[in-house]
Amino acid sequence: MGALIFYTFIYFFGHFSAYGLNTLTNRKLLNHRWTGLTGVFLVATLHGYRIISSTPPSGHDDGIMYALGYYVIFPVGVISAIFFYLNGKNNSDDDNDSST
């Protein structure tokens, strides 16, 4: 649960950073939604590398694949699924508005 909250924070940090940059420059330099998702993927890559390259703590018999799945793949999958669902829903709403 903590990893999902962490990656959600990373997404919104990138999202609002790009939105703030676009507001300050009065131009659309970055798409704030894709920038947030890109930040999540970059942090997940570094986090996954850190999990693979380090030894597990003593007393933990869980494998590397369990740690990758639970702390990296699952949260990024949830955030990506929600992102693509809302992005597709937004695009279909835009298509319906333009046809009327």
> pLDDT digits over 74-94, tens only?
999 999 999 999 988 877 766
Distance CA 63, CA 71 (A): 12
The predicted structure's pLDDT at residue 46: 97
Share of the chain above pLDDT 70, in %: 92
In 3-state terms, the chain is what percent helix, strand and coil (to 5)?
Answer: 80, 0, 20
Cβ-contact 40, 4 below 8 angstroms: no
Tens digits of per-residue pLDDT, 44-76?
999 999 999 988 777 777 788 888 999 999 999
Contacts of 65 (CB under 8 A, 6+ apart): none
